[in-house]
Chain A
Amino acid sequence: MPANRFNNFTNYGIGIGLRVPHYQHILSRKPTVDWFEIISENFMVDAGRPLHVLDQILEQYRVVQHGVAMYLGSTDGLDRVHLKKLKRLVKRTNTPWLSDHLCWGSVDGRYTHDLLPLPYTFAAAAHVAQRIREVRDFLEVPILVENVSSYAEFHASEMTEWEFLGEVVEKADAGILLDVNNIYVSSQNHNFNPYDYLNHIPHDRVGQIHIAGHSKFEKYILDTHDHPVLDPVWKMYAHATKLTGTTATLLEWDDRIPSFDEVHREALKAGKFCKGLADGTPAEGIKASPKEAALSSI
């Protein structure tokens, strides 16, 4: 939904990820951008240039925090040092909501620095939901959980990924950061119809959308964030926005990062869908046909 309790009743429009190669351009040219998403962990430092840059950005732009290391699905206790630093950053940025991934990444105190998939069990859903509640209570900001792209599935799973996502957010009363590209990547890797996923999540809980590029290999797709958004993902995005309404959308581009202008242009394509949605007209040059994109061969 455009503005809901999960994104703190905001309507942020189209944002892009704040990345080091673009710092100079942004600070010197001050381009018009609806908002920037920052990787929280890149700024959860004690001092120095990262915070200096962030403070300058905050003077000019709206910033939303997106985390990669909360590991909501880990079975280790919540990392209190991490949470305290995160809260300090929340106060600095005044982020209206905060997101992290529906995944795990550490066990027995050993960190993998990856967003690892969870088995889709009821017990795991209850475990993650409890941790989300704890995190939200501590940080005092709405939490969105993002679906990850995955390359493995577990025998232990008792439901589909979208059922698991729904189970978690309902139990935690949390929002969803819907990563359309991740759904596409996983659908290709696990042979499901990505539109089943889009159609069956609780749409009223979607507070933000991610779009990104990916890389195709012979037998699987990798979520590389190093390309423009591909057509099947745009088509899914069009479908998603029909279901959720025009929702704050963020383009992720994390490797082989082109110029700021190129990234921004790519992100603004998303605006065409939102405009089309408002006007009731399809986005120019892209036909939104759910069935056409589903299960395209890899």
Chain B
Amino acid sequence: MNSKSAGPGKDLRAIQRAFATGITRPLTSGHHMQPKWVDGKPARQAVAAFIKPNDRLTSFDRLEIYNKQYWYRLLDCLYEDFPGLRALIGDRRFHAMSIAYLTKYPSNSYTLRDLGNRLEKFLAREPRWIAPHLKLGRDLVRLEWAHIVAFDGEALPPLEIDALLDGGDPATLRLGFQPYLTFLACDYPVDDFIISVRRRQEPQGEASNAVTERVPRKTARKFKLPQPEKIYLVVHRHENSVWYKRLEPEAYLICSALQKGLPLQTACERAFRRRKKDANFGATLQNWFAQWASFGWFCAV
């Protein structure tokens, strides 16, 4: 069979589909393009159907340059965005997991910022990648994604404390939280763990689409894993820096209830029930709301 006749011809979309098919397939363990095409036929023949060779490189070699760049760039991005998960499961497993993730959930956004937005979902469906640290792995992924959201997520006009108090009947008043906030109930103190990992992280290059000649770094070091401890966190942004702030369980209860759309009174009653023996809880509650408002966390629903 004439290999050229089997190719995409001059149709632009067909050419782009063939090209994308080639470059998004995982590399071999030796960092080469897979020798077989998706249909099981020799990749050299499939690639030669639409890419020219030159005097130094075959068609296969030329597409392989793009195949490598695709994986190096995307893997580098996940390495940078999820250093805690990488430290937990180790380089080799993180590498394999990333390939499986990107194969299952290829990027559907113009920005690499969103590359990891379905990693939590992926790991929920394929927990083997984080076994036996299922809860710790889940906590880490959620916190690391929350960090990305807090870094540049949308900020709406904040409600001042006076506006909160004048907001009407607490039985019906609903408060919104800034879109960049994430409240987390964790089974491990992952905040401390990630902070220690990030302190050792290398500075990165910048998203520019210049190509890289390097395979993704393999520099994960051994970290002492945290012991189980129930913690409640809010990942927020203050003065353009990302912060992990621990919350008391009742504070988390209130915030998560408000975030679900429950009225202010209902949210607070839940917390009061847990602290009914605490005579000063009313004052504590006032302090919490004053502090949260001062951070600009509240916004209109």
A interface, CB within 8 angstroms of B: 17, 19-21, 39, 41-42, 44-52, 68-69, 71, 73-75, 79, 81-82, 101, 104, 106-116, 118-119, 121, 123-124, 127, 151-156, 189-191, 212, 215, 217, 219-220, 222-226, 252, 254-257
Contacts and interface: CB of A to CB of B under 8 A. Distances in A.
A48 B151 contact: yes
Contact of A45 (B107, B152, B205): B152
B12 A112 contact: no
Contacts of B237: 47-48
B20 A110 contact: yes
Q: Which of A69, A151, A217 has the most CB of B within 10 A?
A: A151
Interface of B: 4, 7-10, 12-13, 15-17, 19-20, 23-24, 49-52, 54-57, 59, 61-63, 65-66, 69-70, 73-74, 106-113, 150-155, 179-180, 203, 205-213, 237, 240-241
A72 B9 CA distance: 21
A210 B154 CA distance: 33
A160 to B, nearest CB: 13
Contacts of B17: 107-108
B12 A119 contact: yes
A254 B205 contact: yes
A79 B57 CA distance: 35
A244 B180 CA distance: 47
A255 B210 contact: yes
Contact of B107 (A110, A152, A224): A110
A19 B111 contact: no
11 contacts: A47-B152, A81-B110, A110-B108, A114-B73, A116-B16, A116-B23, A119-B15, A153-B62, A155-B51, A189-B54, A225-B208
Contacts of B152: 45-51
B66 A114 contact: yes
B258 to A, nearest CB: 21
| Shortest Cβ-Cβ A-B pairs, 9 listed | A46-B154, A225-B210, A45-B152, A48-B152, A254-B208, A49-B240, A47-B155, A75-B13, A152-B62
Contacts of B213: 215, 217, 222, 224
Contacts, number: 177
Contacts of B16: 74-75, 104, 107, 116
B66 A151 contact: yes
A39 B208 contact: yes
Contact of B57 (A220, A252, A255): A220
Contacts of A252: 208, 210
Contacts of B155: 46-48
Contacts of A81: 110
Given A123-B10, A151-B66, 11 more contacts: A41-B111, A47-B153, A47-B155, A68-B209, A69-B110, A107-B16, A110-B107, A111-B106, A112-B20, A112-B70, A191-B55
Contacts of A101: 209
B107 A111 contact: yes
Contacts of B50: 154-156
B240 A155 contact: no
Contact of A254 (B12, B13, B210): B210
Given A69-B111, A74-B16, A152 B51 contact: yes
A208 to B, nearest CB: 16
B110 A255 contact: no
Contact of B241 (A19, A41, A42, A49): A49
Nearest to A190: B54
B238 to A, nearest CB: 11
A22 B267 CA distance: 46
A127 B13 CA distance: 11
Nearest to B150: A48
Nearest to A149: B211
A81 B108 CA distance: 12
A113 B50 CA distance: 21
B55 A123 contact: no
A179 B10 CA distance: 27
A1 B147 CA distance: 45
Given A41-B111, A46-B154, A113 B209 contact: yes
A222 B211 contact: yes
Nearest to A107: B16
B203 A21 contact: yes
Contacts of A114: 23, 66, 69-70, 73, 209
Contacts of B154: 46-47
Contacts of B20: 107-108, 110, 112
Contact of A153 (B9, B51, B212, B240): B51
A257 B66 contact: no
A104 B50 CA distance: 16
Nearest to A82: B110
Contact of A79 (B9, B15, B54, B110): B110
